[in-house]
Chains A and B, each alone.
Chain A
Amino acid sequence: MSYVRAKLTLESMAAGEVLELTIAGGEHLENVPRSAEADGHRVLGVEEEIPGERYRMFIRRGADPWV
């Protein structure tokens, strides 16, 4: 559900705005950026807060989302 909630938040933002979110490690660390890029957003970076457990991710909302 990590990217589902991130996507709902991104949809409420204006193009160009940056979403900062905290995600767990493991598969979320791979799935969230892949899904965001596939939706036309841009992953600006990932910071490690607790190695292997918690990360901060920055996603710029795409300019031309489908909906």
Chain B
Amino acid sequence: MNEAQVLRFSRHVLLREVGGRGQERLLAATVVVAGAGPVGQAAAVYLASHGVGRLRVAGGEGALEESDLQAAPLAARPSIGVRSESQAEGRSPGRNWPSAFDALAQAVRRADPEVRVEAVSGALDLGAADALLVAGLREAEAGPLLEAARREGRTAVLALAARYAAAVAVLPAGGACHRCLGLRMEAGWPGEGGWPFGVAAGLAGALAAVEVTKAVLGMGGTAGAAAGRAARGRLLLFEVDGLTLEERDLEPRGDCPACGGGGPTPGASPCG
């Protein structure tokens, strides 16, 4: 770390579980954020604040709308006549609202201008990524990404918000797969239960940033029950209306159509 970084992250350095080496790991890390909506924006800002050096962001090409602001307060409201970055580059014609990606990038730069934020288009390459965060995507979009992360042996964090609920699942390679998670949710895939109450999206993003940061640092329990939970997977459910936080251990399910309880076979096609 240079002098500016020592000052910037001195409080992290003081934490036993982070220290100088952990902070350097974060500064060198690349995190792929799939989903640039309100959940992804909140997560990206906290990841930037934590010092993650590079964020590769997939999605978010479409312009924001007025109604998005209730769950995306980090997005700067555009001035009339001001064009967003992507509009200036000719990627999106004639609207004054920034794209979700531009809103995310602007918020990240406010948090830390040193963080590299890149838009990813086309196939998502997890090759150089230290962690994958799937933020606010529906199962049809999230599933293939989570399958790819498992095939490549990477821990993925899934963050979703619906109505008054924020859900964050940590899915380590070899543990429960996302289909096991879906089967455990009595009401089905948690992200498809309706638009989130504003702060629920931010909570999902913030909680997800914690879990991604821990994955990069190698935290999450090194012994006993904590290590077992970290290896199998965890689900955090925050209900905003009742102010309750529930944690569930995720177990691979024997009746899971994707992994059959043994975790997906590397290279296998995902089950429908």
Per the 8 Å Cβ criterion, residues 181-224 of B in contact with A are 217
Q: How far is the CA of A17 from the CA of B63 in the complex (A)?
A: 57
B21 contacts chain A at the CB level, 8 A cutoff = yes
- Asked whether A66 lies within 8 Å of B17 as measured between CB atoms, the reply is yes
A50: chain B residues within 8 A (beta carbon):
none
Question: In the complex the two chains form, is A7's CB within 8 Å of B7's CB?
Answer: no
With A3-B14, A4-B14, A35-B14 as known contacts, state yes or no: A67 contacts B19, CB within 8 Å: yes
B10 / chain A contacts, CB cutoff of 8 Å: 1, 4
A4: chain B residues at CB < 8 Å are: 6, 10, 13-14
8 A Cβ contacts from A1-56 to B: 1, 3-5, 7-8, 11, 35, 38-40
Interface residues on chain A, number (Cβ under 8 Å): 14
Residues of chain A within 8 A of B262, CB atoms compared? none
| B172 at interface by CB-CB < 8 Å | no
Query: Are A67 and B6 neighbours in the complex by a CB distance under 8 Å?
Result: no
Partner pick for B21 among A3, A11, A40, CB 8 A cutoff: A11
Please give the distance in Å from B248's CB to the nearest CB on chain A: 27
Determine chain B's interface SS by DSSP, over half rule.
helix
Residues of A near B19 (CB, < 8 A) are 7, 11, 39, 65-67
Interface size on B, residues (CB 8 A): 14
Chain B residues contacting A35 (CB-CB under 8 Å) are 14
In the complex, which of the residues A1, A5, A8, A39 contacts B16, with contact meaning CB atoms closer than 8 Å? A39
Q: Which residues of B contact A7 (CB under 8 A)?
A: 13-14, 19-20
Question: Given A1-B7, A4-B6, A8-B6, A67–B14 Cβ distance below 8 Å?
Answer: no
A-B contacts, 13 listed (Cβ < 8 Å): A1-B6, A1-B7, A7-B20, A8-B13, A8-B20, A11-B19, A11-B20, A39-B19, A40-B16, A66-B17, A67-B18, A67-B20, A67-B21
Would A67 and B13 count as touching, CB distance under 8 A? no
Given contacts A4-B6, A66-B16, 20 further A-B contacts (CB under 8 A): A1-B6, A3-B14, A4-B10, A4-B13, A7-B13, A7-B14, A7-B20, A8-B1, A8-B6, A8-B20, A11-B19, A11-B20, A35-B14, A38-B16, A39-B16, A40-B16, A67-B17, A67-B18, A67-B20, A67-B22
Complex CA distance for A55 and B269, rounded to whole angstroms: 65
Contacting residues, chain B, for A40 (C-beta < 8 A): 16
